[in-house]
Amino acid sequence: MSKIDFLKLTMELTLPVIHAWLSRCEDMVEAWQAMNPDKLLVAHMIITLAGLRMEEPTAATWWNKNRDELKKLASWDEFTQKVKDCFVPSNWCMMGFAAFYAIHQGPSHFANFTKALQQARNSGLPRNHLLFHAHPILCLCITGQQAFPYMSMKVEVLIENMSFVWDSLLTEKVVRLPVPGMPSPLTIPLAATVASPSLLPTLTLSASSMPSRLPALTHTKREALRTINSCFHCHKTPQTSGWVKHCSDTCPGNAALGILPCKSPAVVAAIGPVRFLADYEEGYTPIVAVMPVYDNEEDSFPSATDDSDLSQQN
């Protein structure tokens, strides 16, 4: 090997790319030196040859601007450090951990996933789990600190540091804690807890409260009652003595004809969750909505009758 042909640096300047390029340069120098034991490459020559291969725009600009000073460096290691100081973030280790802990099994085989995790186990695993599984904003605040001594930090010190930052985030209202006991937006109460017998009204039906079941009116009879503005249930008209304006579910009946009052029992139509009172600070109580019984035969409203004349609505 008569000359050294360093690999071109053309890709985006990420940590893996820079590390790989510097490593390839070192391997090339070692290989050339092994094949030419009678010759010695000085640092000035190695740095110059490497700098000429930095063709990525940002790296090329950096080299052209600082090449005079870089050529004066005493060793390749010093040049390597200059490259890292310029293009590798000071928190590169934290960024690497964050990227690592963001990896999930996905579509890969579970055996490969567990093998990778077992190989990554080390004494810093609890510390890593604590940091990278914390609140995203808290994790970002910690990993964004410049020159943060994470690798040498004990778990107790990390907890103290993270606790201080977390309290600051809460005080500044950057993050908010959920209201204690607040249900999840996607939580659906179980059927057993929706209707508690102790919170629902007890309905006791007697013979007098049951709706009177009269024979269905024929079309001829119904039309005759409609003509005189009579109630379909009690058969009274506004001209009848003791007439009371009413609607079908509150008809007072007609004692003379043996027709009982038409008082429909309450029917539970909907109730609110029993846990309203416990879950909401405003103290909402369970709600029960009731509706009257609808009778298809009796609840027939004459189209020619004004809505204000409730006597025809039976």
Same domain, 148 and 251: no
Same domain, 211 and 147: no
179 inside domain = no
The share of the chain scoring above pLDDT 90, in percent, equals 17
Residue 263: pLDDT band (50, 70, 90) is low
Same domain, 51 and 106: no
8 inside domain = no
296 inside domain = yes
Same domain, 43 and 149: no
**CA–CA dist 50, 64 (Å, integer):** 12
147 inside domain = yes
Residue 104: pLDDT band (50, 70, 90) is low
Last residue of a domain, one of 73, 88, 103: 88
Same domain, 217 and 296: yes
Q: Of the spans 57-66, 153-162, 266-275, 276-285, which averages the highest pLDDT?
A: 57-66
Q: Domain span at residue 47?
A: 15-88
Same domain, 104 and 153: yes
Number of structural domains the chain divides into: 3
Last residue of a domain, one of 88, 104, 132: 88
181 inside domain = no
10 inside domain = no
Residue 298: pLDDT band (50, 70, 90) is very low
**pLDDT at 132 exceeding the cut of 70:** yes
What is the reported pLDDT for 202?
A: 46
Residue 76 vs residue 293, higher pLDDT: 76
Same domain, 209 and 277: yes
Last residue of a domain, one of 137, 171, 205: 171
Q: Name the packing angle between helices 15-35 and 43-52 (round to 10°).
A: 130
Same domain, 123 and 213: no
